[in-house]
Chain A
């Protein structure tokens, strides 16, 4: 069974740091791009960051650029999100998600599937 399990969330003060982990199982982790997506309490989904399969390429949402770092350890089947200089507006459930894709006659399509259960990050004094 394909499974993603996040950990590392918790309460942190503004300006503090936290590292999230996402343990993957049931598939060849090193073959897939991975993403972090967050959801503030009562709000919608917001894409945060992406990393390619070997970790050589990353991208970030503007709101976290320069503060968050995505990385992966393919030997440990684990995805990470290092979050520094945390702000109140970073409070959210953070989900990791696998990048799925298919090549159809009219293009190559990508999506997020599956998702982990999420880990809550609360930034507050």
Chain B
């Protein structure tokens, strides 16, 4: 099974900061990588699919990059509504318990 590792597990940032979250796959997954945002008590929301394609309705300050084993989610200018937990997810191979990364919590500095 492919394992997904996110870093950092949490970070503190201020409104207006540029934020980068990293996701690493245990083997190459080409561009089969999605990013989700989850706010407390709410369901996850799809942000990015196929590593870099922005889901309809998602603000352009969110962007994704990478291929193979290393991926990043970047928020170009952090907004108050962006404080949340972010998860990566691989869709390259058979889904398993390790399909999602462990999450990165973005908190207010």
A26 at the interface (CB under 8 A from B): no
Within 8 Å by CB of B49, from A47, A63, A111, A114, lies A111
Check A45–B100 contact: CB distance below 8 A.
yes
Interchain residue pairs A-B with the least CB separation, the first 10: A115-B43, A113-B46, A109-B50, A45-B100, A47-B99, A111-B34, A110-B91, A111-B49, A44-B103, A61-B97
Within the complex, the shortest CB–CB distance from B66 to chain A, in Å, comes to: 14
Within 8 A of B (CB), among A21-47: 35, 44-47
Check B50–A104 contact: CB distance below 8 A.
yes
Contact with B along A32-68 (1 / 0, CB 8 A): 0001000000001111001000000001011100000
Q: How far is the CA of A59 from the CA of B99 in the complex (A)?
A: 13
Residues of B near A112 (CB, < 8 A) are 34, 36, 44, 46, 89
Check B87–A47 contact: CB distance below 8 A.
no
A45-B103, A47-B95, A47-B97 as given contacts; A115 in contact with B44, CB under 8 Å = yes
Check A100–B46 contact: CB distance below 8 A.
yes
Contact with B along A92-125 (1 / 0, CB 8 A): 0001000010101011011111111110000000
Q: Using CB atoms, name the residue of chain A closest to B102.
A: A44
- B interface bracket (residues with beta carbon within 8 Å of A): 20 to 34
Check A107–B32 contact: CB distance below 8 A.
yes
Residues of A near B30 (CB, < 8 A) are 106-107
Residues of B near A107 (CB, < 8 A) are 30-32, 50
Contact with A along B92-109 (1 / 0, CB 8 A): 001111011111000000
Since A102-B53, A111-B34, A111-B89 are in contact, a sample of 5 more A-B pairs with Cβ atoms closer than 8 Å, ordered by chain A residue number, is A62-B96, A109-B50, A111-B49, A115-B44, A117-B43
Within the complex, the shortest CB–CB distance from A117 to chain B, in Å, comes to: 6
Q: How far is the CA of A113 from the CA of B96 in the complex (A)?
A: 18
Within 8 Å by CB of B94, from A59, A95, A113, A114, lies A59
Check A106–B31 contact: CB distance below 8 A.
yes
Within the complex, the shortest CB–CB distance from B12 to chain A, in Å, comes to: 19
Q: How far is the CA of A15 from the CA of B30 in the complex (A)?
A: 41
Q: Using CB atoms, name the residue of chain A closest to B34.
A: A111
Within 8 Å by CB of B96, from A47, A95, A104, A115, lies A47
